[in-house]
Amino acid sequence: MRGTGVTTISRAGEGFEFVCADGTAGSASKILLATGLVDELPELEGIKPLYGVSVHHCLYCDGFEYAGKPLAAYGRGDKGAELAVMMKYWMADVVACSDGTQVSAQAMRKLAEHNIPLRTEPIRHFEGADGELTKIVFEGWPDLPRAGLFFSTGCHQATDLSERLGCKRNAKGGVVIEPDTEESSVSGVYVAGDVSRDVLLVAVAIGEGAQAAVAINKAFLRRDGFYD
Ligand SMILES: Cc1cc2nc3c(=O)[nH]c(=O)nc-3n(C[C@H](O)[C@H](O)[C@H](O)COP(=O)(O)OP(=O)(O)OC[C@H]3O[C@@H](n4cnc5c(N)ncnc54)[C@H](O)[C@@H]3O)c2cc1C
């Protein structure tokens, strides 16, 4: 166990060599990439103290607690509208906010169909106390009192290690797992957790970690003639 970041991994014969941020290096027969993703927080004044308490990115993680409360769905272009429609399935009082960006006619129709109001004005800042959002303040337009906000702004890989190793990625940027070998497209490189950008939940990450560990063990058994 090394409490440092891996900066590079490169192929060395059948295996790999890696270098760490603290200057140490090493070699490995197999690599398990479990480096996760980074959520892109909207660049809005006042958001940081609220993030993780009353401002969230994942409906599946935090949506349940907000049933019956007034909420906002934030996303530029159609993203906020699309999120608002998903939220409306569970929550009665949802307002979509596009922060000064245009929403397509199709997304507007969907909002109207589900009786979801849309605020397109640019957001000036968020107000709240002790992590709890109280209102969204718009540029020159009335404030919107809200108890919570979910946003849809995307996320990216925490490291470019998979990219530099040449692992195939899907349209969302997730590392693709080959169903036959349970490896990435690069032989000897396995992935677990958010790196695959599949379902982004702790339970799934743990499950994928166990699955990858079994696949790695079977690969060693095969290599050493214990398993066909
Ligand atoms: C605010 C928030 C709330 C969430 N709430 C929930 C929830 O309620 N329920 C739920 O199931 N999920 C929730 N999630 C999602 C959940 O946290 C992730 O799905 C899960 O942590 C993914 O696990 P992982 O191991 O793939 O990645 P991570 O947990 O992101 O772990 C990746 C690790 O890799 C390390 N790392 C990155 N780069 C390097 C490097 N170059 N070298 C060495 N180490 C490196 C990082 O430091 C980190 O420790 C939440 C996420 C966030 C951000």
Environment class of 49 (CB within 10 Å of its CB; exposed 0-12, middle 13-18, buried 19+):
middle
Closest by Cα among 94, 9, 62, 85 to 17: 9
Maximum separation of any 2 CA atoms in the chain, in Å:
72
Confidence of residue 227 (pLDDT cuts 50, 70, 90): confident
Cα 39 to Cα 152: distance, rounded to the nearest angstrom: 10
pTM: 0.90
Task: Give the chain's mean pLDDT.
Answer: 96
In order of start, what are the domains of the chain with their CATH numbers? 6-39+158-223 (3.50.50.60), 48-151 (3.50.50.60)
Q: How many angstroms is it from 35 CA to the middle of ligand 1?
A: 8
Please give the span between the terminal C-alpha atoms of the chain, in angstroms, as a whole number: 31
The rounded Å distance from CA 37 to ligand 1 centre is: 7
What is the distance in A from the centroid of ligand 1 to the CA of 202?
8
**Residue 106 confidence (pLDDT) above 90:** yes
Confidence category of residue 41, pLDDT binned at 50, 70, 90: very high
Sign of CA dihedral 176, 188, 167, 210: positive
- Is residue 228 scored above 90 in pLDDT? no
Ligand 1 mean position to 183 CA, how many Å? Answer: 21
User: Does the structure show a pLDDT above 90 at 198?
Assistant: no
Q: Take residue 41 and report the two structure tokens written for it.
A: 């927080």
Ligand 1 atom 7: residue of nearest CA = 61
Amino acid letter for position 206: I
SS3 100: coil
Query: Tens digits of per-residue pLDDT, 109-156?
Result: 999 999 999 999 999 999 999 999 999 999 999 999 999 999 999 999
Atom from ligand 1 closest to the CA of residue 62: 8
DSSP 101: -
pLDDT at 175: 96
Residue 159 CB less than 6 A away from ligand 1: yes
Q: How far is the CA of 137 from the centre of ligand 1 (A)?
A: 31
Question: How many angstroms separate the alpha carbon of residue 208 from the centre of ligand 1?
Answer: 13
From the alpha carbon of 5, which atom of ligand 1 is closest? 42
**Residue 175, CB half-sphere, CA atoms under 13 Å: how many?**
32
Residue where the block lists tokens 């106390």: 129
Does the beta carbon of 39 lie inside 6 Å of ligand 1? yes
Please give the distance, rounded to the nearest whole angstrom, from the Cα atom of residue 184 to the centre of ligand 1.
20
Assess whether the C-beta atom of 121 lies below 6 angstroms from ligand 1: no
Q: Is the CB of 36 under 6 A from ligand 1?
A: yes
Instruction: Tell the residue nearest (CA) to atom 21 of ligand 1.
Output: 202
Nearest to 200 by CA among 150, 131, 154: 154
For the CA of 37, the nearest atom of ligand 1: 30
41 lines ligand 1 (CB under 6 A): no
| Beta-carbon count within 10 A of 117 CB | 14
